[in-house]
Structures are given as C-alpha cells and as structure tokens.
Chain A
C-alpha cells in the first residue's frame, strides 16, 4: 500500500489569504492575519452566511494576491464543517471556476492541497484554489448546544476557530512548492468522548507521520518544522508519545496550529480546532516564514475527527484521519 506521493513537477503555492474573527485576531497570530474581523457575523444575518462570506473573501483575495484573475482559476477545492459543506458550496456559487467539494473534517485543508497538487502535477489543471473555513458559532449549534445556554466545558475541550484560509496552487511561479505528501487512513482507537478530539485524532496523526517517515526514509530532524492541524495540547502530547515508542523523536520541531492560535489566557482548554484552524495559521503565519526561507522544508499535516452529531448520539466511537504534505521553499 503506497500512501506516499511524490510530485514530479512540484505545484507552487503562489498566493494565500487568511481571515480571522475577533478572538483569533486577539491571539498570538493576530497581526499576521490579513483580514481582521471586528464582528463575527461579518455583517450578515446568520453565522452560516458569515462563514460562507469569510470563505468567499479569502478565495477572492488569495486569487488577487497571486496576481491572477478569476478566469485563470480552473477549480476551487473547498470544504468546511457544516452539514453538506454549505459554507464552501455557497461561497463557490460566486465564482465561475469549477468546484470540488471536499470533506475530511478538520483535515480538509491538506486533503484539498493533496488533491489540487495532484491535479496540477498530472498536467490536468493550471491553477487551483484550496480553501477551508470554520466558525465557532455555526459549529457550536451543530455539534453542541445553543450559544446562550449556560453550560461548562470540560478541561479537555477545544475551541472552534472562527476563520478561513485559501491558497492558490499553480503549475508555475513562486518559490514555495509542494513536493509530496502522505494520504491518511481512517484510524479509530475507540475514543467516544466528543470533548476530547485531541485524543481521538492522535492515533491517526501518529499513523500518517509514521507512514510518511518510513516510506520516505526521513526522520523528524529532516524537516525544519513539523506542523499539525488542531490536535491541541493534549493531542500533541499523545502523538509525540506514540511516535517516541516507534522510535521517532519530534519534541524539538513540532508545533500545533491549535496550540498556537490563542493566547495563554485560554490555557484552561486545549487550544483551537476546526477546519479553519490549520488553513488560517498556514496562510497567515507559516506561508510568510516559507517565503522568507526561514523554514526551508516543512511537514504540514491537518488532522480531522470524522464524527457527526448522529454517530456520537448513537454511541459510535470517533474515527479520525490526517493527511500530510511536504512544503519546501
């Protein structure tokens, strides 16, 4: 089973755009976020519309930042967390480009980068936009309780990021490129606690990392930085523990987007999560670092918990997945 792919022509990342809600802009990456929202409804009537508008805004601006026009974009690959990925679909309604809806929960961002990269590398398309979003308020109502309900969160819970990010992948141009990646498989260790996503996703994350290191013959030290999507503090620790047992030490150069995004004031919880978490952090912070060549080789892996409110209601455990891409500059 060959899950690792190597791109021959290395699709380039030629433009990005990020957007964040008020809480995200007040966080550690606040000044790196391109579009900062003061109002998490983004001037819309519902949070679902707001999320869709965020996705629309980042796709539009990423195309502009890449010095392209809408006509140059062959396809948009996008996804989000809402039922039937409505945010992505309603955002794509505004564009004349092709659209492929993608869903792997919070791992959608790297999933779409792998798919977009493969379509470009194979010579089928020239320019592809990959984008994902999530919104705290629209996710809360779908997965948890109404916003105004006075309930407490357990300490292992995470906070869904209000934000979105888009990248433009192209056959030619810029210095940042995707050289390969590893497709994740669905892993389930039987975690049923919907408040403990980090624990549910850690085995899948460890599996993809282990497979990637083994298939490529690399070790964690071969990468300047290893970035995971939204494992949170607890999930990150679990992944490092599992990999340590298998003989890989990534304590030195591992960072988690969920852990990074909020200030320490949120330390009560495990950090950010959501499909927009990894895309927001990549598009605001890491892309700039890659452009400046502060990081030359990065292993970027978004992680997703593939549950629904129905499956958890029926007592099923939480399957998870993680897709990794290697980004070089």
Chain B
C-alpha cells in the first residue's frame, strides 16, 4: 500500500513553495514587538504600583502582578477582544502571560457546549497543555544543571 511518502511530488511541492504568498515578516515582527512590549510595560507599571503604593516585595509582588495580568487576559478573552489582538499581534500577544490565560480560557469557553466535566474541564488544557509539560520539563532540566554546577564549584 502507498504511504504518504510515496505520494510526494517534489517538483510540484517546490513550485507551490515558490508561488505561495509569504508572511510579511517585517510587519509581523514590528507588530509583535510593540504589542508585546506594551503588555510587558503594563506589567512593569503594575509592579511599580504594587511596590510603591501597596508596599509589596519579593515573591508576593511578582505573584500579584501575574494574577492581575492573567485576570486581564482572561477577561479580554471572555469579551471576545483577545483573539482580535492576537490576529494583529501574533507572537506579541501569545508569549506574555496574558497569552497563556487566553490559551486556557478560550478552549474552556469553546467546549462548554459539551458539558462542564467532559467539555470545559477536560479540554481546558488542549492548547496550554504542551506549554505546561515542556515548561515544567525545562525547569527541571535547568534545576538539575544548576544543582550540578553549584555542587562542583
């Protein structure tokens, strides 16, 4: 039986690659830069606010900033605004923590029609799942390297 590999017509694929419209990289980078930078500036602003006005420090300060940003990301997702920001900014709104909130809330909303247990709860991490898995794995790896280096020196 034929496999997908046997079907490959390299001449055709090369031609398709040649005439397919390309993503406008300069435009995408510029948009991602200013929107991503803007979100991070809001985060920094919140940090100053909690530090100077509320008087928080250390881990507590960082947690409060994250909580507020996650809330904002979720709220904008629920209001149907975040997908429009994402369409415009691409990576600029995916990479910050608000993008993570968006990737959890959007499937939770989408699959509500299949029930709260098998829909919302079960499918909540379909998009964010891989990020969590690789994020945790990477942190373990970095922790091990740090541990080893710390022991040697």
A46 partner, pick from B7, B83, B113, beta carbons under 8 A: B113
Q: Return the chain A residue nearest B13 by Cβ.
A: A190
A154 to B82, CA, bound (A): 18
Interface size class of B (residues with CB under 8 A): 35 or more
The digit string for B1-31, where 1 denotes a CB below 8 A from any CB of A, is 0001101111011011001111110001000
Stretch at the interface among B61-69, B100-108, B136-144: B100-108
Are A152 and B86 within 8 A (Cβ)?
yes
Stretch at the interface among B40-48, B50-58, B87-95, B145-153: B87-95
Are B107 and A146 within 8 A (Cβ)?
yes
Asked whether A317 and B7 contact (CB < 8 A) given A147-B110, A189-B12, the answer is yes
A190 to B4, CA, bound (A): 6
CB of B85 closer than 8 Å to a CB of A = yes
Say what secondary structure dominates the interface of chain A. loop
In angstroms, how far is the closest chain B Cβ from the Cβ of A306? 12
Are A149 and B4 within 8 A (Cβ)?
no
CB of B70 closer than 8 Å to a CB of A = no
- Interface size of A by Cβ–Cβ distance < 8 Å? 32
Are A203 and B12 within 8 A (Cβ)?
yes
Say what secondary structure dominates the interface of chain B. helix
Are A150 and B102 within 8 A (Cβ)?
yes
Are B7 and A189 within 8 A (Cβ)?
yes
Q: Return the chain B residue nearest A235 by Cβ.
A: B16
Are A146 and B110 within 8 A (Cβ)?
yes
A199 to B17, CA, bound (A): 9
Which residues of chain A come closer than 8 Å to B89, judged between CB atoms?
150
In angstroms, how far is the closest chain A Cβ from the Cβ of B7? 4
A203 to B89, CA, bound (A): 34
A241 to B12, CA, bound (A): 11
CB of A141 closer than 8 Å to a CB of B = yes
Which residues of chain A come closer than 8 Å to B107, judged between CB atoms?
146, 149
Asked whether A148 and B105 contact (CB < 8 A) given A45-B113, A315-B4, the answer is yes
Asked whether A191 and B87 contact (CB < 8 A) given A150-B102, A234-B19, the answer is no
In angstroms, how far is the closest chain B Cβ from the Cβ of A60? 25
Q: Return the chain A residue nearest B107 by Cβ.
A: A146
The digit string for A152-188, where 1 denotes a CB below 8 A from any CB of B, is 1111100000000000000000000000000000001
Q: List 26 A-B contacts (CB under 8 A).
A: A146-B107, A146-B109, A146-B111, A148-B78, A148-B83, A150-B77, A150-B93, A150-B94, A151-B87, A151-B90, A152-B87, A155-B20, A155-B21, A155-B22, A155-B24, A188-B4, A189-B7, A189-B9, A190-B4, A190-B7, A190-B9, A192-B4, A199-B16, A203-B9, A203-B12, A317-B8
B residues sitting closer than 8 Å to A (CB atoms) are 4-5, 7-10, 12-13, 15-16, 19-24, 28, 77-78, 80, 82-87, 89-90, 93-94, 99, 102-103, 105-107, 109-111, 113, 127
Report, nearest first, the 8 A-B pairs whose CB atoms are least far apart.
A150-B86, A190-B8, A146-B110, A148-B106, A146-B106, A188-B7, A155-B21, A317-B4
Q: A149-B106, A189-B12, A238-B16 are in contact. List 20 more A-B contacts (CB 8 A).
A: A48-B113, A145-B106, A146-B106, A148-B82, A148-B102, A148-B105, A148-B109, A149-B103, A149-B127, A150-B93, A151-B94, A152-B28, A152-B90, A154-B23, A155-B20, A189-B9, A190-B9, A191-B13, A191-B16, A199-B20
